[in-house]
Amino acid sequence: MQISDVQVRKSEPSAHLGSAHFSIYTPMSESTELIQEILGTIGQPADYRTDALQLLETGESRYLRDFKLNFTSTLTSEHLSAKECALLGLSTAVNNQNKPLIQYYTNVAKQNEATDADVAEAVGCASLLASNNVFYRFRHFTQKEKYTQIPARIRMQLMMKPVTGKEFFELMSLAISAVNGCEMCVNAHEDSLIKLGTTEERIFDAVRIASLVTATGKIIF
């Protein structure tokens, strides 16, 4: 490597050597720049690293470009408002127990006029659907009529009069169910949404956001 290939700064003459010193700075790698941009957006310190993030940085992975763009797109949609995108992100982050992303999407939701009640409902939705997804997935797996006859005994009052609205609560429920892999729940919520007049594009985007928040959480947690 030649001196011309890197940044060079001339320092003051040395009192001991009577000559000028040169400090050579290695430029920051593209991977490090991308990581710091993502961390800055989320509100994490520049030196924050998970093992997964460190491996991507060390390997100069091209995936970091995709990672950044995918993460950024969780807040953009032609069919969902910025507030709805953030609440979907929050509910997914709670479902995935991801503290940095919970804090990030809470802040973004409030910046887009989400109330404390809206935020609390996104959190509650993730918790309620965690129980529903396990329970109804079990029923679906076993295919036994007996299990459909026994009362579920899962209280679901939150679904009755959601502060975010029936349609959006169903949308969050569908997204969480997709993340948790409950086929019966996905079909039930999708059917309810279609009957409520929700477009398939809006449904698709909600699931897209949930999938990308989940992907982000595999690297930053």
| Amino acid (one-letter) located at 191 | D
Residue 2 has what pLDDT? 38
Taking a C-beta distance cutoff of 8 angstroms, is the pair 220, 44 a contact? yes
Print pLDDT tens along the chain (221 aa): 333 333 333 334 444 444 455 556 568 899 999 999 999 999 999 999 999 999 999 999 999 999 999 999 999 999 999 999 999 999 999 999 999 999 999 999 999 999 999 999 999 999 999 999 999 999 999 999 999 999 999 999 999 999 999 999 999 999 999 999 999 999 999 999 999 999 999 999 999 999 999 999 999 99
Q: What is the pLDDT of residue 133?
A: 97
Q: What is the pLDDT of residue 218?
A: 98
Strand segments (E) across the chain: 7-10, 22-25
Are 13 and 19 a contacting pair, CB within 8 Å? yes
Q: Comparing C-alpha atoms, which of 89, 97, 51, 92 is closest to residue 176?
A: 92
Domain 78-217 fold: AhpD-like (1.20.1290)
* Given 123, 182, 210, 219, the catalytic residue: 182
Beta carbons within 10 angstroms of residue 48's beta carbon = 15
What is the predicted pLDDT for the residue at 195?
Answer: 98
pLDDT at 210: 98
Residue linked to tokens 């961390």: 39
Whole-angstrom CA distances from 129 to 36, 125, 178 are 34, 6, 10
Active-site hit among 87, 178, 185, 207: 185
User: How far does Cα 157 stand from its chain's mean position?
Assistant: 27
pLDDT attached to residue 220: 98
Distance between CA atoms of residues 173 and 178, nearest Å: 9
What is the pLDDT at residue 185?
Answer: 97
The reply to whether 185 belongs to the active site is yes
Which residues, other chains included, contact 86 with Cβ-Cβ below 8 Å and sequence gap of 6+?
Answer: 75, 105, 108, 109, 111, 112, 114
Q: Active site includes 85? A: no
- Rounded to an integer, what distance in angstroms lies between the CA atom of residue 82 and that of residue 93? 16
Residue bearing tokens 């003051």? 12
Handedness of CA 55, 44, 70, 102 (dihedral sign): positive
